[in-house]
Amino acid sequence: MANLIKTNRALLITFAIVLLLIILISQGLEAKVWVSILLSGVTLAALYFLLASGLSLIFGLMDVLNFAHGAIFVLGAFVGLSVFANPRLFFNTVPFILTITAGVLLGERYGYYLWRNITRLTARRVIQGVLLIVAFGIVAFSLRRFPISALNAFSVTAVGGAVPTPQAQEALAIMIQRVAFVILGGLIFGVLAAPKEARDIGRQRPSWQIIGFTLIILITAFLVLIYRDPGETFFLGLSPNIRFLLALIIGSLTGAIVGIAIEVVLIRPFYGRPVTQLVLTLGLLIVMIDLIELIWGDEGHPPMQPPSLFAESCRSESIVAWLSENCSSINVLGRAFPTYRLFIITVGILVLIGVGLLLQRTRIGMIIRAGVQDSEMVEALGINVRQVFTFVFALGSGLAALGGVIVAPFLGVYPAMGGVFQLQAFVAVVIGGMGSFAGAAVGTLILGLARAFGDYFVAAGIDIPMLDLTFKGSPAIAKASSVLIMAIVLLVRPQGIFGKKE
């Protein structure tokens, strides 16, 4: 028992302080008020955690601060919105993602046979530069004049009104030509990402597996193209609950695939060069947001329709009653609280438990934790640490995209949302301790509660004793509470609550 307390001393002290502050702050408030505020804070904490957990995992294993994490969050939100409400955009763009992925897989697997014949460093750099320009040129050429605006005009609120699907999408022959060029661009990107030295190859999958997997991806891409019209009709005919579930799955997978691409193409060549990584991911953030605005527009979208489980305009008296009534709110001590927020809290808890069990109870978790401590020793045991790095990047990015899809029915979807949530996630990671998964959870909980209680007291005012005055501040004060908390924590414990001294 004593060892357990000593091991979790920071966690116990933190929760004791948070509990004490909640008790002090809630004095004078009705129970239904402070419980509602508490649940609102936990809702924000769950959303922040989906970003902060990925940031913490990536930094803890790879020492990479990924500034493009917020853009992946936004991408997940827009992809989820498209899958849910505009599947024709999904069916006309997914083939490009699948085919470029297939090209990268093949190029990375066999690119070494090119580089092994080029031994001079100067020649390699020149060829890399030329190939990079050619690859981007081919992809840009393949996507020129692609009718993305027409595909996005799926509702009457779009600029110029809704565009029918037959007019919005291109003929199948033109799409196949575009896809063929994208495959070629992906091959070149894969060659650029291929290992340059024999010592970097490590253990590889057999050629037949790579070729077979690539063929499956390509066949899937062409089937999506061929059946895009009946596919759109089928998607829109599904119930909102199933479409929302598909949006969660496809949005998260998109984020994971983008994370793999970022790690393989941009991060992997620059391990050990943190400044270069920061500049690259910061530039990627700007590029991704610009691409998102190019595809979906720079204006925001109203909140996505929530699943029918949370859509009925009524108030359930209990969770059991809600299961049959599907009300949009539930009675919490006589006050209505949105049931979709409870869903957000549930997802956050499930992710916390799931990733925690992955890290602590599985073989891949053991490898990840060992890689954090000594990656060279893990490699000496015959484990491909590079693949572990890629998996962690994919997992972190997938969690960020999942958060984007979940937030869409709650706050709406707009390109700037990533910056707001990413800032809070970074602050939470710093408060909890860089690289600590438990620290990320505690940091987001602290920030979520601080923001919820801060918003309430700023709006309701704070009574000043003996002066008979009520102080009402600007909403900016509540927003600044996260920075203030971070400053206090760093003054007391510079490495963060769960951080370790170096």
Tell whether the model's pLDDT for residue 474 goes beyond 70: no
Tell whether the model's pLDDT for residue 372 goes beyond 70: no
Percent with pLDDT over 90 in the chain:
18
Tell whether the model's pLDDT for residue 157 goes beyond 70: no
pLDDT for 120 equals 82
> Has this prediction a pTM greater than 0.75?
yes
Q: Which residue has the higher pLDDT, 138 or 366?
A: 138
pLDDT for 364 equals 80
CA-to-CA distance for 425 and 397, rounded, in angstroms? 13
- Could you report the per-residue pLDDT of 292-310, keeping only the tens digit for each? 888 887 777 777 888 888 8
Confidence of residue 182 (pLDDT cuts 50, 70, 90): very high
User: And the tokens for 31?
Assistant: 């129970």
Q: How many CB atoms lie within 10 A of CB 302?
A: 11
- Could you report the per-residue pLDDT of 98-119, keeping only the tens digit for each? 898 889 888 888 877 787 787 7
CA-to-CA distance for 214 and 328, rounded, in angstroms? 44
CA 311, 460, 454, 28 torsion: positive or negative?
negative
Enumerate residues 6+ apart whose C-beta is below 8 A from 184: 103, 138
CA-to-CA distance for 295 and 245, rounded, in angstroms? 23
pLDDT for 25 equals 61
List the domain boundaries for the chain. 9-308+336-492
Distances (CA, A) of 393 to 54, 247, 389: 8, 21, 6
pLDDT for 16 equals 67
Per DSSP, helices labelled H in 118-171 are 121-142, 148-152, 165-168
pLDDT for 71 equals 92
Section 126-143 average pLDDT: 89
Tell me the pairing of strands 469-471 and 462-464: antiparallel
Tell whether the model's pLDDT for residue 406 goes beyond 90: yes
Section 431-441 average pLDDT: 83
CA-to-CA distance for 204 and 387, rounded, in angstroms? 10
- Could you report the per-residue pLDDT of 30-70, keeping only the tens digit for each? 777 777 888 888 899 999 999 988 888 888 777 778 888 88
pLDDT for 418 equals 85
Classify burial at 155, counting beta carbons within 10 Å of its beta carbon; exposed 0-12, middle 13-18, buried 19 or more.
exposed
3-state helix, strand, coil in the chain (%, to 5): 75, 5, 20
